[in-house]
C-alpha cells in the first residue's frame, strides 16, 4: 500500500533535519548550483539525483508520486519554487516576528537590505547546535551560513547585498527542519541575542540600534590617551551601577543614559534595556553589558583592562 504524499514529505523533512539546521537551505542551494541551463526546473531523473546527493533515497513509486505532487503546473518538470513552496511552506506568525526582529536589528539604516558585514557583526555562530555538540567549529558554521545565504542572490550575491526577501526565505528553509517552535525561538534568540516578545511593539529595531550605537560612541569618546577601551568600558559600567551592587537596574540605566546626554522616550529606553538584558533577569550584569554593546569583539580580559 502506497503512502500518502504528506507522509513522504514528512520523511523528507526529517531526513533533512538530521543533516543539521542548514539541511534544507543546502538542498535549495544544490538545486541552484546544478541548474546548468538556469531554467530553474528539473525532470524526474535530475530530481532523484538531487535528493540522493543529499542522502534522501525514495522508492521509485514514491519518488514519482512526490514529483507529480510538487509539479503544480503539470509541466512535466519541477521548478525550484514549486519544490521549496511545497516542502518549506511559510513562517508562522510566531517565527515571523523573530525573523522580523533579527532583520530589524541588522538593518540599522532602514535600507531594507543587508551586507555580509552587517550580518557578521551580529551573528553568534558559537550558539549553533553543531558547535555546541562539537560536530563543527564556529568558523565552519559561519562559512556554511554565509555560503548558503549568499547563494540566494540572483548573482550569487556578487554585490555583497542580501535582500529582505532572501533573508526571510533562508529562515523559512531553516525552519522547515525545525518542527518545534520553541526550539526555533531559542535558536534565533541565541544566534542574534534577541528576546521574544520583549520589544515594545511601536519601537522599531532600527531606532533601538540607533540609540545603542549612540551609547557606544559616547563610551568610546571617553577613552583618552593611553587608556584602553576595555578600562573605559569597565569604568562606564560602574558609572551605571549607582548602588555598587554589581548589576544595573532599569532605573539606573535610564538615569545614566540621561547623564550621557541621551534622553529618549521611556518605551525606547525600555526596549534597549530589554535587548541588553540577555538573561531576562531585569538587571544587567557586566558580561551582558559588554556582550550586547560590543558583540564580543574583544575578550572580557581586554575589556577589564587586565
Residue 304 clears pLDDT 50, i.e. is over it: no
Sign of CA dihedral 284, 228, 108, 105: negative
Give the pLDDT band (50/70/90) at residue 303. very low
What phi-psi label fits residue 271: left (phi over 0), alpha (psi between -120 and 50 degrees) or beta?
alpha
- pLDDT > 90 fraction of the chain, expressed in percent and rounded: 1
Residue ranges covered by each domain of the chain? 5-88, 93-192, 206-303
> What pLDDT, on a 0 to 100 scale, did the predictor assign at position 298?
45
Residue 300 clears pLDDT 70, i.e. is over it: no
> What pLDDT, on a 0 to 100 scale, did the predictor assign at position 229?
65
> What pLDDT, on a 0 to 100 scale, did the predictor assign at position 197?
66
Pick the residue with more confidence: 16 or 83?
A: 83
Same topology between domain 93-192 and domain 206-303: yes
**Over the stretch 22-69, which tens digit does the pLDDT of each residue have?**
566 666 667 767 676 677 788 888 888 878 876 778 889 988 988 888
Cα 135 vs. chain centroid, distance in angstroms? 20
Give the pLDDT band (50/70/90) at residue 157. very low
State how far the Cα of 229 lies from the Cα of 123, in Å rounded to an integer. Answer: 23
Of 3.40.50.300, 3.40.1480.10, 3.40.50.970, 1.10.238.10, the CATH number of 206-303 is 1.10.238.10
Burial of 17 (0-12, 13-18, 19+ CB in 10 A): middle
Of 1.10.238.10, 3.90.660.10, 3.30.70.240, 3.40.50.2300, the CATH number of 93-192 is 1.10.238.10
pTM, two decimal places: 0.52
> What pLDDT, on a 0 to 100 scale, did the predictor assign at position 295?
65
CATH number for the segment(s) 5-88 = 1.10.238.10
Mean pLDDT of the chain: 78
* Most confident among 10-19, 43-52, 172-181, 193-202 (mean pLDDT): 43-52
- pLDDT > 70 fraction of the chain, expressed in percent and rounded: 79
Give the pLDDT band (50/70/90) at residue 155. very low
Beta partners for residue 260, in sequence order: none
State how far the Cα of 268 lies from the Cα of 253, in Å rounded to an integer. Answer: 12
**Over the stretch 259-290, which tens digit does the pLDDT of each residue have?**
888 988 878 888 888 888 877 677 888 888 88
Instruction: Spell out the alpha helix ranges (H) of 18-112.
Output: 23-33, 44-53, 60-70, 80-88, 93-106
Which of 70, 68, 64, 69 shows the shortest CA–CA distance to 83?
70
**Over the stretch 69-123, which tens digit does the pLDDT of each residue have?**
888 888 888 887 777 777 767 788 888 888 988 888 888 777 888 888 888 888 8
List the grid coordinates of 274: 530589554
Burial of 192 (0-12, 13-18, 19+ CB in 10 A): buried
State how far the Cα of 24 lies from the Cα of 55, in Å rounded to an integer. Answer: 12
Residue 203 clears pLDDT 80, i.e. is over it: no
Three-state DSSP state, 248: strand
**Over the stretch 119-153, which tens digit does the pLDDT of each residue have?**
888 888 888 878 888 888 988 888 888 877 776 55
State how far the Cα of 70 lies from the Cα of 7, in Å rounded to an integer. Answer: 14
Cα 144 vs. chain centroid, distance in angstroms? 13
Amino acid at each position: 500500500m502506497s503512502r500518502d504524499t504528506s507522509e513522504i514529505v514528512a520523511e523528507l523533512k526529517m531526513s533533512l533535519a538530521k543533516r543539521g539546521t542548514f539541511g534544507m537551505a543546502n538542498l535549495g542551494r544544490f538545486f541552484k548550483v546544478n541548474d546548468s541551463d538556469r531554467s530553474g526546473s528539473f525532470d524526474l531523473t535530475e530530481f532523484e539525483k538531487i535528493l540522493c546527493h543529499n542522502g534522501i533515497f525514495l522508492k521509485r513509486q514514491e519518488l514519482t508520486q512526490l514529483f507529480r505532487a510538487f509539479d503544480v503546473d503539470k509541466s512535466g518538470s519541477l521548478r525550484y519554487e514549486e519544490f521549496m513552496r511545497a516542502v518549506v511552506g511559510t513562517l508562522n506568525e510566531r517565527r515571523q516576528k523573530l525573523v522580523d526582529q533579527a532583520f530589524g536589528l541588522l538593518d540599522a539604516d532602514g535600507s531594507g537590505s543587508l551586507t555580509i558585514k552587517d550580518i557578521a557583526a551580529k551573528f553568534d555562530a558559537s550558539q549553533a547546535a553543531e558547535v555546541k555538540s562539537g560536530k563543527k567549529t564556529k568558523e565552519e558554521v559561519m562559512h556554511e551560513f554565509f555560503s548558503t545565504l549568499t547563494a540566494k542572490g540572483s548573482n550569487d550575491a556578487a554585490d555583497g547585498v542580501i535582500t529582505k526577501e532572501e533573508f526571510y526565505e533562508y529562515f523559512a528553509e531553516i525552519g522547515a527542519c525545525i518542527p518545534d517552535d520553541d526550539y526555533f525561538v531559542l535558536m534565533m534568540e541565541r544566534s542574534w541575542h534577541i528576546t521574544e516578545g520583549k520589544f515594545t511593539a511601536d519601537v522599531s529595531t532600527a531606532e533601538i540600534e540607533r540609540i545603542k550605537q549612540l551609547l557606544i560612541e559616547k563610551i568610546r569618546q571617553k577613552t583618552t590617551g593611553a587608556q584602553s577601551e576595555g578600562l573605559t568600558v569597565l569604568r562606564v559600567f560602574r558609572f551605571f551601577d549607582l548602588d555598587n551592587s554589581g548589576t544595573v537596574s532599569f532605573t539606573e540605566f535610564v538615569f545614566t543614559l540621561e547623564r550621557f546626554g541621551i534622553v529618549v522616550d521611556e518605551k525606547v529606553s525600555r526596549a534597549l534595556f530589554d535587548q541588553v538584558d540577555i538573561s531576562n533577569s531585569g538587571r544587567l550584569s557586566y558580561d551582558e553589558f559588554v556582550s550586547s554593546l560590543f558583540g564580543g569583539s574583544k575578550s572580557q580580559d581586554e575589556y577589564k583592562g587586565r
